[in-house]
Amino acid sequence: MGDLSVMETLHRMYFSLTALMFNGVLCIMIPIMDKDNSNRNRSFSTLVFTVFFGNLLTCITSFIRHADSIVIDPRYVYLAYLISCLANIYVTGFFSVYMESYFVDKHEPHPIVKTLNRAILIASPIAMAILFICKAAGIGLDPTTAAAEPWVRYLFGYAFELYFLLYTLIFFSRHTFLLNKRAFITALWGVVLTVGGIILQLLFPMILVNYVGASLALLLFYFGVETTDYRKLNKTLEELEVARESADRANQFKSEFLANMSHEIRTPINAVLGMNEMIIRESKDPQITEYAKDVENSGKNLLSIINDILDFSKIEAGRMEISESSYKLSQVIHDLTNLVKNRADEKGLELDLFIDETMPNDLYGDEVRLKQVVLNLLTNSVKYTEHGSVSLSVEGDAHDGILDLKIAVSDTGIGIRDEDKDKLFDQFTRVDVQHNRTIEGTGLGLAITHKLITMMGGSIEVESSYGVGSTFTITIPQKIMSDEPIGNITDRYARGSGAADMYRRKFSAPDAEVLVVDDTSMNIMVFKYLLKETEVKIDCANSAREAIIMSSQKKYDVIFMDQRMPHMDGTQALNEIRKQKDGKNTDTPMVCMTADAVEGARERYLNEGFDDYLTKPVEGDLLEDMLVKYLPRRKVISES
C-alpha cells in the first residue's frame, strides 16, 4: 500500500518516464539498424530491450508500491519489488556483456568470471521465483508484510548490481588501450552516465532516476558507435586492415622470390662468365675472342637487369639505404670512364671529359650509388647515340663545407621529344618505342636514378632536342673532407685504354695456401681458373663438413666460403672453424662468396663473422684484389 497520491507518484517518476520514451525510440530504431549479426550488434540490441523493459517494469512496480489509491495484496507488492531488482540486475549484467563485446577477439574475460556472470543472470530469476513462492505460501517469510527482508534487499537490491558495475569498470579500464579514440570516449561517458544514474538514485531515493543515466548512455552509444554509417566505416577499416596485411605478406613473398631468383640466376651466370673469362684470357684466335666478348656483354647485361630489378624492389619496399663514407672523386671518375670507354669505342663514339681542376677531391657521401647513377646516364647516352660523342662534365660549387657536385652527361644521340620528358622517370616506361625497339632496356634505369638522387638530397634535370641530343644534369650535395683540388685528371682518363679489358696479372703468390669451399664444382673450377695466373695453391672442399676437416689439418692464408650449401651453410662452417680446439685456422681471414646480393646481405655476413664479402658472379679482378688484401705481405710478389 502506497504512501503517496497518484499525482505525487507520477511526479516522482517524471525522469524515468522521459527516459522510457527515449528507450522506446531506440527500440524502434534497433530493427532498422544494419544487421551484421556480430556479437556487438546482438549485445547492444539485447541491452536496449533490457533497459526498456527494465525501466517499464520499474515504473510500474514503483507506481504499484507507492500510489496510495492502489490497494493491493502485500505479496504482490513484494513481487513487484523483486521484479524491479531483477530488472536492475539484468540491465547492469547486460551492460557488462555489451562492454565485453568491444574487446571480442582481442581480449576475452577469464572463463571463471564469465561463468559466474552468466550464473548470476540465470540463478537470479529462479531464486526470486522461489522467494515469491515462499512468501506467498508463508514458508519462512511473513506473507502479511510487503517490505523485503534486509538480506533480500542487500543481495538482490544492491550486491549483484554493484558487482556487475564494478566488474564492468575494471574490465573496461584494463583494456581501454585496445579501443580507438571515438569508441573510448563514447564508452567512458556511457559508463559514467550509467554509474552516475545509480549513484543519484541512492542519493535521492524520492525520485526515480536510476534508468535515466543508462538511457542517456544508450543514446550516446547509438549515435556514437552503433550507427549504420559508423559500423560500415569500421567494417571497411577492418577489411582494409586485413587487405593491408595480405598485401604486406604478398610483398614479403615477392621480396623473397626476387632474392631467390637473383640467387638462382647469378649462380649459373657465375659459371658462364667465369669460363668465358678464361676463353678471353687464353684464346689466341681473334674470332673466338670476339665471340667470347659478345657472351661477356650479354652476361653482364643480364646481370645489370637483375640488379635493376633488385634495386627497384628495394626502393619500393623502402629498404634502400644511402651509406656514406669518405672517397676520392678522382677514383669515381676514373672508374666511370673505364667502365664506359670500351662501350663508346665499340660504337665509334668519342668520350669527352670536362673536369673542373679546382674542385676538392676528398668527399664524403655514397660513392657506390653516385657511381651507379652517373654510370646509368653514361650507358644510356652510349646506348641511344649512333654517331658523334658522349661527354661527361664534372664541376662543383663549394660552400660551408659542402660541395654541390654538378655532373652533366651529354650526347649527340636520338634525343627525347618534349612530350616524353615528363614520362622519363616513370618506372618501366620506355619512350620513343618506335626508334628504340632494337635497343635493350627495361625502363627502370632512370626511375632508379631519380629515386637514388632524391635519397641523396640531389636533383636531376634533362634538356634535349629531338634528333640532336640530350643532356642530363644532376646536382648532389657532398661533404668536403679536405680542400686539396682534384687537379688535371682529364688527359689521363680521357685516353682511357682500349686494352683495359686485356688481362694483366697483378701479382703472384706461389707460396700462398687458399681453401675454396663450394658445393657446385663448376664454381670451384671457375675460381681456380680465375686465380690460375697468380700461382696460389688452391685446395677445394665440396661441402662445409669437408672444409671443417681440411681446415683442422692445414693452415690456410685465406678461406673463400660459399654461403648456401646443403646440410650446413657457410656461416655454420665459419663458426665451427673459428671455435676448433687448437685449430689451425681460428683466425684465418674468411671471405663469404654468395649469389645473395640483396640489400643488407653484406652487413649481415660481416656481422656473422666473415672478414669480407664477394658477390657471384665473381669477377677475376675483384677476386685478385680481395685475395691480395688478405695474403701475408711476404708471400706476395708484385708485378709492377
Question: What's the CA gap between 150 and 136, in Å, rounded?
Answer: 18
Cα separations (Å) of 342 from 291, 378, 629? Answer: 16, 12, 28
Q: Indicate the burial class of 357 (C-beta count within 10 angstroms; 0-12, 13-18, 19 or more).
A: exposed
Question: Is 436 a binder of ligand ADP (CB under 6 A)?
Answer: yes
The minimum distance between CB 497 and ligand ADP, in angstroms, equals 25
Question: Is 172 a binder of ligand ADP (CB under 6 A)?
Answer: no
Task: Dihedral sign for Cα 246, 248, 249, 255, please.
Answer: positive
Judged by DSSP in three states, 471 sits in strand
Number of chain residues interacting with ligand ADP (CB under 6 A) = 21
The minimum distance between CB 310 and ligand ADP, in angstroms, equals 15
The minimum distance between CB 246 and ligand ADP, in angstroms, equals 31
In degrees, to the nearest 5, what angle opens at C-alpha 424 toward C-alphas 422 and 428? Answer: 125
Question: Is 548 a binder of ligand ADP (CB under 6 A)?
Answer: no
Member of 12, 65, 430, 451 binding ligand ADP (CB under 6 A)? 430
Question: Is 373 a binder of ligand ADP (CB under 6 A)?
Answer: no
Question: Is 311 a binder of ligand ADP (CB under 6 A)?
Answer: no
Footprint of ligand ADP on 464-503 (CB under 6 A): 470
Residue 405, C-alpha cell as written in the block: 657536385
C-alpha closest to that of 623 among 510, 493, 514, 500: 514
The residue (of 426 and 639) whose beta carbon lies closer to ligand ADP is: 426
Binding mask 323-362 for ligand ADP (x = CB under 6 A): ----------------------------------------
Question: What's the CA gap between 91 and 58, in Å, rounded?
Answer: 12
Question: What's the CA gap between 318 and 311, in Å, rounded?
Answer: 11
Is the backbone peptide bond immediately before 617 cis, with ω within 30 degrees of 0? yes
The minimum distance between CB 432 and ligand ADP, in angstroms, equals 5
Question: Is 306 a binder of ligand ADP (CB under 6 A)?
Answer: no
Question: What's the CA gap between 416 and 418, in Å, rounded?
Answer: 6
Question: Is 410 a binder of ligand ADP (CB under 6 A)?
Answer: no
What would you measure as the largest C-alpha separation in the chain, in angstroms? 127
Question: What's the CA gap between 240 and 274, in Å, rounded?
Answer: 49
- Taking CB under 6 A as the binding criterion, the range among 57-65, 202-210, 287-295, 410-418 that sits at the site for ligand ADP is 410-418
- Taking CB under 6 A as the binding criterion, the range among 27-35, 251-259, 411-419, 537-545 that sits at the site for ligand ADP is 411-419
Question: Is 416 a binder of ligand ADP (CB under 6 A)?
Answer: yes
Question: Is 460 a binder of ligand ADP (CB under 6 A)?
Answer: no
The residue (of 85 and 460) whose beta carbon lies closer to ligand ADP is: 460
Question: Is 391 a binder of ligand ADP (CB under 6 A)?
Answer: no
Residue 303, C-alpha cell as written in the block: 646481370
Question: Is 441 a binder of ligand ADP (CB under 6 A)?
Answer: yes
Member of 2, 157, 360, 445 binding ligand ADP (CB under 6 A)? 445
The minimum distance between CB 489 and ligand ADP, in angstroms, equals 24
The minimum distance between CB 457 and ligand ADP, in angstroms, equals 21
Task: Give the number of other CB atoms < 10 A from CB of residue 589.
Answer: 18
User: How would DSSP label each residue in 91-120?
Assistant: HHHHHHHHHHHHTTTT-PPPHHHHHHHHHH
Please report, as ranges, the residues that interact with ligand ADP according to CB under 6 A. 380-381, 384, 411, 413-416, 424, 430-432, 436, 441-447, 470
